[in-house]
Amino acid sequence: MIRTVPTKPYPDQRPGTSGLRKKVQVFQQPHYVENFVQAIFDCVPDRDGAKLVVGGDGRFYNREAIQKVIKIAAANGFGHIVVGRGGILSTPAASNLIRVRGAIGGVVLSASHNPGGPDGDFGIKFNVANGGPAPESFTEAAFARSKAIDVFRLVEAADIDLDRLGVTRLHETTIEVVDPVADYQALMERLFDFDRIRDMFRSGLRFSFDAMGAVTGPYAKAIFERALGAPDGCVLNGVPLPDFGGHHPDPNLVHAAHLYEAAMRPDGPDLSAASDGDGDRNLIIGKGCFVSPSDSLAVIAANAHLAPGYAGGIAGVARSMPTSGAADRVARKLGVNVFETPTGWKFFGNLLDAGLVTICGEESAGTGSSHVREKDGLWAVLMWLNILAVRRQSVLDVMRDHWAQFGRNYYVRHDYEEIDAAGANDLMGALRGRLASLAGSDLGGKRISVADEFSYLDPVDGSLSSNQGVRLLFEDGSRIVFRLSGTGTVGATLRVYLEQFEADPARHNLDVASVMAPIAAAAVAVAEIPAFTGRLKPDVVT
């Protein structure tokens, strides 16, 4: 039976960079999930009889939220709901399912790399029919709807058994519980040379993958250990847990420091990798060599043709603005398109749909391609395995060759987390107010050639996205970018992105922190970071 339930709106349901993310306790408020999900569905006019994909990263409150989503979807006319067994679907696997099943969209429950558990974070994101995150026009419409909502509808029924594969009915809707791994694994087997990677494992490649107690465990075990024959146990923390086993599932040098330390030892793994809460981010570390996400994007663009799925070459590369320009150099050499978009995977969707680009990436540990419409952590690891298997080189040698050919974009990001939101906004406001006087001035002994705020005109749909970060571009090709994160749940996070290009091969193997120290000091000074934030140093350097 369908029940129409009166409700009162919450004013704070504005999605950020990647969906609505809040503390678990916020989502646990009465009708909080129901309101937002109803607001989303109200913005999907063609939902009658349509197919919907539902799944999440397994974090605390995943199962409860999925039951609500299913019951509300069934009451809102969806004809067929595909849900991952146990409520599990990695973000890229959800994107793939939406595409291969011809769904109108999907509801993905995740707060990505943010911590989980009862005191952690939760999130809800809507993906559209191309498999990618809903565009800004949609998320703004859902936000507007959430502020006016006065009823939601749900089917009153017992909970669906999420742990049994197969088909059941809920009111007039078919509910299908599917293996979360199978379709995704089949896609990976089409894109990459599994035989060659298998041979490389057989010949002794030492590999370690940390699923960080989050969603990629079942995928990684199936693909790396079972299909590719990597040694049992190479997948660490491979069982998805509601609190991620206490891990902060953010695959960076702070939260995966143990991988870095192991990789720097002479007897360390040849390749160490990790993914985040929902499986869309990646960390790549070779023996003695951390690969920055910006460099990883460039290497993947330059070598993608070595994998069967990309043997015909790539149409182009897109990167978010704060990502280094390393990939641009590759694209120019290959003679393919290159695009610079705002932060947020959703901005790649139109370019991928239009066939303008094949490979996309972001400095925030996201890399992916036209195979789905999300970034994809395991895809990036498989791409690296495929590159190593064909080139028969160490990660370090691949990087050295790459820098010799294209030059090196030294890069680092400094994050000031959970700072006072008013102070953060004042800092950005003060910078904005000084852009005109900064252009042409000297900073840290270098001339600023351009000082502006990035905006993006989507070449496909003509939409304009403004206020996407303050940029200081220097005459020598180096760059400082200031931006406030759109994914935090407490206060504000200031991100400072620093980049310096080095063409001289004699200077390609320097210590990154030392190279970046002068520009980092210049960034602190020009933005008066201590004065506005009360912080003397960043919380995370990655």
Conformation bin of residue 511: beta by default, left when phi > 0, alpha when psi is -120 to 50: beta
296 lies in the binding site for ligand G16 (CB under 6 A): no
Q: State which of residues 9, 77, 444, 486 lies at the interface with ligand G16 (CB under 6 A).
A: 486
Cβ-based neighbours of 31, under 8 Å, separated by 6 or more: 5, 7, 8, 152
Nearest to 430 by CA among 416, 451, 414, 415: 451
139 lies in the binding site for ligand G16 (CB under 6 A): no
Q: Which two tokens stand for residue 312?
A: 């015909």
Interface region with ligand G16, contact rule CB under 6 A, candidates 46-54, 189-197, 343-351, 446-454: 343-351
329 vs 495 by CB, closer to ligand G16: 495
87 vs 344 by CB, closer to ligand G16: 344
38 vs 292 by CB, closer to ligand G16: 292
495 lies in the binding site for ligand G16 (CB under 6 A): yes
Interface region with ligand G16, contact rule CB under 6 A, candidates 75-83, 223-231, 254-262, 483-491: 483-491
345 lies in the binding site for ligand G16 (CB under 6 A): yes
Interface region with ligand G16, contact rule CB under 6 A, candidates 92-100, 174-182, 340-348, 349-357: 340-348
DSSP symbol at 537: S
φ/ψ of residue 268, rounded to 5: -70, 170
Q: Tell me the sheet residues that pair with 80.
A: 51, 174
Interface region with ligand G16, contact rule CB under 6 A, candidates 196-204, 267-275, 339-347, 436-444: 339-347
φ/ψ of residue 194, rounded to 5: -65, -35
- Nearest distance, CB of residue 298 and ligand G16, angstroms: 17
229 vs 486 by CB, closer to ligand G16: 486
Do residues 438 and 450 lie in contact, with contact meaning Cβ atoms separated by under 8 Å? no
Interface region with ligand G16, contact rule CB under 6 A, candidates 360-368, 405-413, 426-434, 505-513: 360-368
Q: State which of residues 366, 368, 377, 469 lies at the interface with ligand G16 (CB under 6 A).
A: 366
CA 356 from centroid of its chain's CA atoms? 21
Do residues 321 and 340 lie in contact, with contact meaning Cβ atoms separated by under 8 Å? yes
d(CA 418, CA 540): 11
- Nearest distance, CB of residue 419 and ligand G16, angstroms: 14
136 lies in the binding site for ligand G16 (CB under 6 A): no
Q: Which two tokens stand for residue 218?
A: 């079942």
Distances (CA, A) of 527 to 324, 390, 455, 520, 538: 21, 46, 20, 11, 14
Q: Which two tokens stand for residue 307?
A: 């994998």
Q: Tell me the sheet residues that pair with 369.
A: 359
- Nearest distance, CB of residue 343 and ligand G16, angstroms: 5
117 vs 518 by CB, closer to ligand G16: 117
Interface region with ligand G16, contact rule CB under 6 A, candidates 82-90, 458-466, 469-477, 484-492: 484-492
485 lies in the binding site for ligand G16 (CB under 6 A): yes
Q: State which of residues 127, 292, 364, 468 lies at the interface with ligand G16 (CB under 6 A).
A: 364
Q: Which two tokens stand for residue 465?
A: 């996205």
DSSP symbol at 103: -
Residues 275-294 that bind ligand G16 (CB under 6 A): 280-281
Residues 105-134 that bind ligand G16 (CB under 6 A): 112-113
- Long-range pairs for 144-150: beta carbons < 8 A, 24 or more residues apart: 145/39, 145/42, 145/43, 146/9, 146/10, 146/13, 146/35, 146/36, 146/39, 147/9, 147/11, 147/13, 148/9, 149/7, 149/9, 149/35, 149/38, 149/39, 149/42, 150/6, 150/7, 150/8, 150/9
Q: Is 203 a catalytic residue?
A: no
Q: State which of residues 249, 342, 344, 349 lies at the interface with ligand G16 (CB under 6 A).
A: 344
362 lies in the binding site for ligand G16 (CB under 6 A): yes
Q: Which two tokens stand for residue 269?
A: 């793994």
Residues 17-56 that bind ligand G16 (CB under 6 A): 17-18
221 vs 281 by CB, closer to ligand G16: 281
- Nearest distance, CB of residue 485 and ligand G16, angstroms: 3
343 lies in the binding site for ligand G16 (CB under 6 A): yes
Cβ-based neighbours of 202, under 8 Å, separated by 6 or more: 229
373 lies in the binding site for ligand G16 (CB under 6 A): no
Which helix (H) or strand (E) is 17 found in, with range?
A: none
175 vs 529 by CB, closer to ligand G16: 529
- Nearest distance, CB of residue 240 and ligand G16, angstroms: 16
487 lies in the binding site for ligand G16 (CB under 6 A): yes
- Given the rule CB under 6 A, which residues bind ligand G16? 17-18, 112-113, 280-281, 320, 343-345, 362, 364, 366, 485-487, 495
Catalytic residues: 112
